[in-house]
Chains A and B, each alone.
Chain A
Amino acid sequence: MSVKVQIPLPLRGPTGGLSEVEARGSNIREVIDDLVASYPDIRERLFMGDEELNRFVSIFVQGQDVRLLEGLETTVKEGDLITILPLAAGG
């Protein structure tokens, strides 16, 4: 399954400035693993330790918070839009 992942400003260093990239997987966990495989520097910004996703980001599938669905086990469909969103600070 190929999906589109929106990359927020703080994670664009590892993607070479790209704000949207393709990734593969059948659920969010697999999509993020694939994203990290393509852009390894994302790992330390997105994870605390080995497993746990950093809790300063929220993840949305097709505009819906994955916490309303099955969290990281939420299944994705071909072409879905995944949004990774940290809290923005400027004012």
Chain B
Amino acid sequence: MQANTDRYSRQIIFPGIGKAGQAKLGKSTVVIIGCGALGTVAAACLARAGIGRLRIVDRDFIEYHNLQRQILFDEDDVRNQIPKAVAAERHLRKANSSIEIEGIVADVNYRSIERLIAGADVILDGVDNLETRYLINDASLKHGIPWIYGAAVSSDGMTMNIIPGKTPCIRCLFPHMPASGRIPTCDTAGVVSSAPFVIGALQSVEAMKMLVGAEDVSRDLITIDVWTGAFQHLQISDAPSPDCPACQGKYEFLAARFGARTTSLCGQNAVQVVVPGDAELSFEELARRFQEIGQVSYNEFMLRFAVDGYETVLFPDGRAIVKGTNDESVAKGLYAKYVGM
């Protein structure tokens, strides 16, 4: 206990948190969806700040180009093919062993999201695509759990708090999702690490403010450009829009069953294939089969095999990420041919 009083002493001195605030943080649950640049920064801030329960959900594995900005990962994680959620959990346990940290390797889709956010006091957005954000928006409103939108690309970033019933939601401000390919992603426009660092840090402090019950939780849409140093507070409505379907209880993204089968991973030249139901793959058996036709390697978390000019990463639940194509039918075809669906 002494260790913990000492561990948090510097933030307990800060009047906005204090002893009472620290106790509230320790009883709180935060779910971080997506553990890339934003997610690793937020997870590091919140784990070190003593959030009692931290659930980190991510569907991906670590590549060298992630290390430039995804601060919880290192070269060993890439070499050992550790999924992001698992690596994040392992690294954070070393920083703070007194809290519960749960890394979950899973796709966040219409089937899984409500289970994954269960029990959360705040949901923190670290995802890399808009579809999942509109899905988080629906789930947050349906269950009355605040979520903190954040995004960063190039040297720009933006963040906004969504408090169900009190603030506008993402659809109040941006009713339509732009067509894919119309908006820049980190893979097409690049990203300067400081942009997600600032946004992830802002999301974390807003989460902490919500959890300690601060009265001055941000009601603005905040935008930054770390290259020019510009920082803008944009004033938005102080209430949900009466025209917003999601705020009126129509959860179209949950109902649309987004992510049912295949999803092109925007800008990554990769497609994710999700199979209905819960498969349990035997990597040992698959590896034996794939050895005959291509290159294969596996560990307890994932199996990689290269065949027909594509690299496929398989997860134990049957999910796959096919690299080297944006064509969903190609990915599905490969999956059907080699894994079976």
Contacts and interface: CB of A to CB of B under 8 A. Distances in A.
Contacts of A67: 237, 241
Nearest to A60: B234
Nearest to A58: B173
B175 A88 contact: no
B127 interface: yes
Interface stretch (A30-38, A70-78, A79-87): A79-87
Residue from A64, A67, A83 with most neighbouring chain B CB atoms (10 Å): A67
Given A68-B235, A90-B185, A9 B154 contact: yes
User: What is the predominant secondary structure among interface residues of chain B facing chain A?
Assistant: mixed
Nearest to A87: B174
A7 to B, nearest CB: 12
Contacts, number: 106
A90 B313 CA distance: 22
A40 interface: no
A83 B36 CA distance: 28
B259 to A, nearest CB: 16
A63 B157 CA distance: 16
Interface string B153-194: 110111000000000001001111110001111100101000
Contacts of B176: 54-56
Contacts of B177: 56, 87
B155 to A, nearest CB: 9
Nearest to B187: A90
Interface in A14-48: 45
A67 B240 CA distance: 12
Contacts of B223: 83, 85
Contacts of A57: 174
B25 interface: no
How many residues of A sit at the interface, in one of the four size bands?
Answer: 20 to 34
B151 A91 contact: yes
A63 B232 contact: yes
Residue from B130, B174, B185, B237 with most neighbouring chain A CB atoms (10 Å): B174
B128 interface: yes
A9 B234 contact: no
B128 A90 contact: yes
Nearest to B175: A55
B50 interface: no
A21 B196 CA distance: 26
Interface string B89-131: 0000000000000000000000000000000000001111110
Contacts of A90: 128, 151-153, 184-186, 189, 191, 196
A84 B37 CA distance: 25
Contacts of A91: 34, 36-39, 125-129, 150-152, 186, 196
Interface of B: 34, 36-39, 125-130, 133, 150-154, 156-158, 170, 173-178, 182-186, 189, 191, 196, 221, 223, 232-237, 241, 266
Given A56-B178, A67-B237, A89-B130, 18 more contacts: A10-B178, A56-B177, A60-B234, A63-B232, A65-B235, A65-B237, A85-B158, A86-B178, A86-B183, A87-B183, A88-B151, A90-B184, A90-B191, A91-B34, A91-B36, A91-B38, A91-B129, A91-B196
Closest 7 CB pairs of A and B: A90-B153, A88-B151, A91-B128, A90-B186, A55-B176, A56-B178, A55-B175
